[in-house]
Amino acid sequence: MSKKVLITGANGYIGRHVVQAALNKGLTVLAADLKFDEIDDRVIQVTHPIFSNDAQLFEKLGSPDIIVHLAWRDGFIHNSSIHIEDLPQHYQFLQKMVDSGVKQIAVMGTMHEIGYYEGAINAQTPTNPESLYGISKNALRDVLFNITKNTETVVQWLRAFYIVGDDARGSSIFAKIVQAEHEGKEVFPFTTGKNKFDFINIDCLVKQIVTTITQTEFSGIINVASGVPETLANQVESFIKDNGFKIKLDYGAFPDRPYDSPETWADVTIISNIMEKYDK
């Protein structure tokens, strides 16, 4: 019998891709979200609220072997108060799952936990988040590792960087460019574009996520990323060219965000080892 994996936020930008990849990997997928219109119909739909106070929550969510916790609101609005307001619910959900004896938990993290930093980011890089989004994810990570001490639950904190692909469905700068192009706009207000970030296509990201959860040898903080720094300008210009768009970037219309580093990327040693050993 295949392992059962509960994917929260299954109908989201990343979630729907993780669902499909997990199904294709032979896992039994329990999909939890508020709606299911974008989800592969091979899943088992879980309609019971993950943030409920139900004493039998684990059982009502299908008693999964693995939990992939992707659910998160306002992920593209970095200083939304929602991040702080929702944090207790995320903690309570994960605490209930640990208390119920779940074998493995993987949670989506973010490079925004780190804050301003130049160079390669690894599991030991100090964190000093400068947005409510980063602060909340950073706190949840600390809480998760704390509540799983002296338990048998395997924890994998999936620290993502900048994601590209399936852009019409997301809320990133790429999605906004798609929208502006479709609206017939000639220019798109932009920053200097000089900052270098770690970009990864969503298909590659999802492959890394699903491969990671199918093993337990590697745990802790795991960067899911490309490991290659590239300027935002080059990435966006290539996106415009590859899609045959006519829109032009208006450089300098917006200031660079003060908490964005001039050049930062992921140390991908761990994920490279996972992919080499388990991506079969």
pLDDT at 33: 97
Name which of 104, 115, 106 is nearest 138 in CA terms.
115
| Structure tokens that stand for 102 in this block | 């779940």
What percent of the chain lies above the pLDDT cut of 90? 88
Phi, psi of 21 (to 5 degrees): -65, -40
Distance CA 61, CA 219 (A): 24
Name which of 30, 33, 144 is nearest 87 in CA terms.
144
Q: What is the mean pLDDT of residues 123-129?
A: 97
Q: Tell if the pTM clears 0.85, that is, is over it.
A: yes
Q: What does the mean pLDDT of the chain come to?
A: 94
pLDDT at 236: 92
Residue 79 has pLDDT above 90, yes or no: yes
Residue 89 has pLDDT above 80, yes or no: yes
Residue 135 has pLDDT above 80, yes or no: yes
Task: Grade residue 270 by pLDDT with cuts at 50, 70 and 90.
Answer: very high
Task: Grade residue 175 by pLDDT with cuts at 50, 70 and 90.
Answer: confident
**Is residue 13 flagged as an active site residue?**
no
Q: Out of 91, 117, 133, 278, which one is annotated catalytic?
A: 133
pLDDT at 1: 67
The answer to whether 35 touches 9, Cβ cutoff 8 Å, is: no
The answer to whether 111 touches 160, Cβ cutoff 8 Å, is: yes
The answer to whether 268 touches 229, Cβ cutoff 8 Å, is: no
